[in-house]
């Protein structure tokens, strides 16, 4: 009888400990966070290289756009790592792959395709896993990244259309802004009272 009682106490204690620690770790979400960090790390490095190429080709406004976008991707990395920390996982900081750099027009097209994949395919799949595993913080960071990437793709498409139509980037915004909390990208602050994704005030935005 004593053995049964002791075993019951052990099982109950284990259950209480699991609940107090937030239950089992969301393993699939942790895997997805690391995959997202790898992708965003590569994107940040790639956009910095694209920024340099755009400047070399005489497109300063597109260069600043890519520099701002590189910072936005770095913010996504920071946010994803913050969630890993909350899940008691070590920080994940992979080295980026060497970027492939072509003409600015080709780089814009590649960026559009990459961002479109992320907001249409990758992040929706990661969100589904996070929702299934009830990982609230991961849901938030994945939503911010998904919606930011959609904005990035739209702005890249606009810049590419201007470049192809005019041969210059004079019609592209000359000043760019990044929300430091969620990584959303802005080509103007006109009518922006706060970040539509995380409610950060424009006064806190990073300016490029």
Each residue of 86-103: pLDDT tens digit? 999 999 999 999 999 999
From the list 50, 169, 170, the residue with the least C-alpha distance to 112 is 50
Question: For residues 141 and 32, is the Cβ–Cβ distance under 8 A?
Answer: no
Query: What pLDDT is recorded for position 22?
Result: 55
Q: Which CATH architecture has domain 30-207?
A: Up-down Bundle (1.20)
From the list 111, 104, 100, 102, the residue with the least C-alpha distance to 166 is 104
pTM of the complete model:
0.88
Burial class (CB in 10 A: 0-12, 13-18, 19+), 64: buried
* Residues of the chain where predicted confidence (pLDDT) is lower than 50: 1-21
Query: What pLDDT is recorded for position 24?
Result: 86
Query: What pLDDT is recorded for position 14?
Result: 39
Token pair of 120 as six digits = 């249409």
Question: For residues 118 and 149, is the Cβ–Cβ distance under 8 A?
Answer: yes
The structural domains of the chain, with segments of one domain joined by +, span 30-207
């Amino acid at each position: 009888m004593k053995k049964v009682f002791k075993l019951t106490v052990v099982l109950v204690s284990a259950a209480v400990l699991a609940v107090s620690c937030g239950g089992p770790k969301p393993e699939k979400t942790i895997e997805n966070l690391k995959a997202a960090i790898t992708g965003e790390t590569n994107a940040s490095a790639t956009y910095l290289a694209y920024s340099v190429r755009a400047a070399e080709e005489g497109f300063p406004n597109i260069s600043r756009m890519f520099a701002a976008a590189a910072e936005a991707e770095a913010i996504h990395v920071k946010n994803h790592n913050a969630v890993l920390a909350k899940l008691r996982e070590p920080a994940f900081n992979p080295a980026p792959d060497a970027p492939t750099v072509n003409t600015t027009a080709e780089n814009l097209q590649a960026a559009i395709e990459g961002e479109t994949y992320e907001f249409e395919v990758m992040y929706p799949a990661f969100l589904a896993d996070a929702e299934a595993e009830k990982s609230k913080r991961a849901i938030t960071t994945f939503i911010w990244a998904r919606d930011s990437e959609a904005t990035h793709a739209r702005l890249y498409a606009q810049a590419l259309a201007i470049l192809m139509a005019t041969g210059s980037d004079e019609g592209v915004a000359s000043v760019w802004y990044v929300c430091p909390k969620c990584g959303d990208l802005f080509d103007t602050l006109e009518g922006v009272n706060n970040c539509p994704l995380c409610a950060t005030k424009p006064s806190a935005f990073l300016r490029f």
